[in-house]
Amino acid sequence: MVKRHLYQPPTTAFDRDEYEQALKTIGPLLEEQNAIVVAHYYTDPAVQYLAEDTGGIVSDSLEMARYGAQHDAQTLVVAGVKFMGETAKILSPEKRVLMPTLEATCSLDLGCPIEEFSAFCDAHPDREVVVYANTSAAVKARADWVVTSSIALDVVDHLDAQGKKVLWAPDKHLGSYIQTKTGADMLLWDGACIVHDEFKAKGIRELKALYPDAAVLAHPESPAAVLALADCVGSTTQIISAAQTLPNERFIVATDQGIFYKLCQMVPDKEILIAPTGGAGATCRSCANCP
């Protein structure tokens, strides 16, 4: 017999009693410091709940920074990786930006050090430099354009229409997807997200065979073979929107498991399955978590 629930979504629950105890300390501190929590979709469920419970937001990295800039709070507690804190500070230079830890890093950011990237740009002065938001402030400063996954395709398409050649960094999968869609002349930095790079087309096809009615929602940082199977390719926000608008009652989602908390909030009556990761010898088949 085929085990239909081979891949289960991660739990989105957390210890409410423990949360309430922590809130007794955190709540007054946030009020005293005129602070809010801005959290990314990929953070732990309790952190996402805290952000919204105390007047903050859970969103993608750009909207986190925008919300912080528009809010009256003078201190932003950024629950995310290092480049998200930098982006928040860029948009709110007059505010104090705190991060729970500076050890929370992104493989795309780490894989694109400014010295090497700057030399790469210098070697190709004829190209317009376009970088993804998942980069350090130093790399962003070296670029001509900074884009999110939701607008990257449109920006590159615009540059291509002007006859410009593009140097893209850091994610090669997102860059390849954009190149395929636009036909633009693109030189790609060899970087990848360690989470999305692990999704496998073979595993998704197997899961799709078990659930033929499921729509596949994939982040464009995933490999091309995975994106070819997707009914919707989009950013974290676009994935959530697709789950809300598509008629399917079941979805296979290829992105970090942290998004399940918000997905289950927005579409409580739909079934969400995490896309499998790893090869045949992997010890974990659904390990899509940013370290």
Q: How far is CA 167 from the centre of its chain?
A: 22
* Res 14: pLDDT: 83
* Res 3: pLDDT: 34
Q: Which residue has the tokens 């070296």?
A: 142
In whole angstroms, give the CA distance from residue 117 to residue 138.
10
Same domain for 169 and 130: yes
Q: How many domains does the chain have?
A: 3
Same domain for 93 and 131: no
Same domain for 216 and 237: yes
* Res 282: pLDDT: 38
Phi and psi based region of residue 63 (left: phi greater than 0; alpha: psi -120 to 50; beta: remaining): alpha
Same domain for 157 and 184: yes
pTM for this model (two decimals): 0.89
Contacts 24+ apart (CB under 8 A), 174-180: 174/132, 174/149, 174/220, 174/221, 176/224, 177/153, 177/220, 177/224, 177/227, 177/233, 178/152, 178/153, 178/220, 180/224
* Res 204: pLDDT: 96
For residue 6, being part of any structural domain is answered with: no
Where does a domain end: 104, 129, 149?
A: 104
Range of the domain at 26: 16-104
For residue 229, being part of any structural domain is answered with: yes
Q: What is the CATH number of the domain that holds 90?
A: 3.40.50.10800
Helices and strands per DSSP (H, E), number in the chain? 13, 12
Rg of the chain on CA atoms, in Å? 20
Same domain for 143 and 176: yes
Q: What is the DSSP letter of 197?
A: G
Q: Six-digit token pair at 247?
A: 């008629």
* Res 288: pLDDT: 56
In whole angstroms, give the CA distance from residue 33 to residue 185.
49
For residue 291, being part of any structural domain is answered with: no
For residue 89, being part of any structural domain is answered with: yes
In whole angstroms, give the CA distance from residue 201 to residue 222.
10
List of the chain residues with pLDDT < 50: 1-7, 279-286, 291
Task: Please name the residue ranges forming H helices in the chain.
Answer: 16-32, 45-53, 61-70, 82-91, 107-110, 114-122, 137-142, 152-161, 172-182, 201-210, 224-227, 236-245, 259-266
For residue 86, being part of any structural domain is answered with: yes
* Res 290: pLDDT: 56
Where does a domain end: 69, 104, 139?
A: 104
Start-to-end C-alpha separation, the chain: 35
Q: Which element (helix H / strand E) includes 278?
A: none
Where does a domain end: 172, 188, 204?
A: 188
Same domain for 227 and 151: no
Same domain for 129 and 181: yes
For residue 282, being part of any structural domain is answered with: no
Same domain for 155 and 202: no
In whole angstroms, give the CA distance from residue 171 to residue 189.
7
Q: Which residue has the tokens 């978590």?
A: 289
* Res 167: pLDDT: 99
In whole angstroms, give the CA distance from residue 166 to residue 64.
28
Same domain for 118 and 42: no
In whole angstroms, give the CA distance from residue 263 to residue 247.
15
